[in-house]
Each structure stands twice: as structure tokens, then as C-alpha cells.
């Protein structure tokens, strides 16, 4: 998986992936209940009512917390690690209050579009696929074809 992420230019994911994999490997011993739920297929998030609208947790985060983080999270606050940690711990509560306030005021909750919603994102993704295909076809070695 790491070569694909590097070829696609997703360097932030590359640095986080080993930590994520280690956390997933330790699920059966550290949190057996969560591990069992995942094994039973309960790993999607439903942001609205319905049966066929579940999304992966990372996609749900991209559409909620991370969208705010990328557009306005640290604007105007200290860049000190302690201040950022305190803010990140409060983020779920702050996001909930923000969403409820917008709903009470009848404001469009989706007034900030995520980068994946833009037309240019499709072009970027097509270029990423082209780069990955290029790496696979031209740079990776097929050990079965070696003499």
C-alpha cells in the first residue's frame, strides 16, 4: 500500500499508516469489543438516515471535522502544542455546537465545500491513477518474470 500512496503523492498518509496499522493489529487484545464489531461489519458511518448511505470513517471525518480543520481550525489560535492539543480535544463538542447553531439559524451547513466536491478533484485523481499505473508498469519489478 505504501508505494501506491507515495506514487499518488499522499505523503501525510504515508507517515500515519504505520501507526494506524499497529493500532489495527492490537485491536483484538486492547479492545476486543470493537474488534468484534468491526469483524461483524459495523465499520461504516451513517451521516443521514438510510440503509445504503454508509461511508468509511475516514470519509466521514473528511466531510466534517477535517473540513473545518483544513479551512479554519488553527486560524487565530496559538501554534503551541499544548494549545493545539486542548483545542483538538474540544473539537467534537465545538463541532456539535456549531452544527446545532447553524441548524437553528437555518444556515446552509454545507456552505464550505470539501476539495473532493470540486470538478478539479476528478482531474487530480485521474492524474494520481496515471502516476500509480506508471510506477507499476515501468518501475516495479515483477519477480515472476525474472530469469
Give the per-residue pLDDT at 59.
Answer: 74
DSSP H helical segments within the chain, as ranges? 2-7, 11-25, 27-30, 32-39, 57-63, 65-72, 81-104, 119-134
- pLDDT classification of 125: cutoffs 50, 70, 90: confident
Cα radius of gyration rounded to whole Å, the chain:
20
pTM, 2 dp? 0.36
- pLDDT classification of 94: cutoffs 50, 70, 90: confident
Give the per-residue pLDDT at 77.
Answer: 61
Give the per-residue pLDDT at 26.
Answer: 93
Give the per-residue pLDDT at 32.
Answer: 93
CB 65 within 8 A of CB 95: yes
> What would the grid cell of residue 91 be?
473539537
Most confident of 33-37, 48-52, 88-92, 114-118: 33-37
Amino acid at each position: 500500500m505504501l508505494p501506491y500512496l507515495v506514487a499518488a503523492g499522499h505523503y501525510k498518509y504515508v507517515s500515519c499508516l504505520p501507526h494506524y496499522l499497529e493500532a489495527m493489529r492490537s485491536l483484538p487484545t486492547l479492545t476486543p469489543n470493537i474488534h468484534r464489531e468491526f469483524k461483524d461489519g459495523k465499520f461504516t458511518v451513517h451521516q443521514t438516515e438510510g440503509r445504503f448511505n454508509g461511508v468509511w470513517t475516514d470519509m466521514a471525518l473528511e466531510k466534517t471535522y477535517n473540513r473545518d480543520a483544513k479551512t479554519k481550525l488553527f486560524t487565530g489560535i496559538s501554534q503551541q502544542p499544548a494549545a493545539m492539543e486542548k483545542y483538538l480535544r474540544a473539537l467534537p463538542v465545538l463541532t456539535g455546537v456549531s452544527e446545532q447553531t447553524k441548524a437553528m439559524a437555518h444556515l446552509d451547513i454545507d456552505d464550505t465545500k470539501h476539495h473532493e466536491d470540486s470538478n478539479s478533484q476528478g482531474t487530480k485523481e485521474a492524474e494520481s491513477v496515471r502516476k500509480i499505473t506508471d510506477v507499476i508498469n515501468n518501475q516495479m519489478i515483477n519477480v515472476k518474470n525474472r530469469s
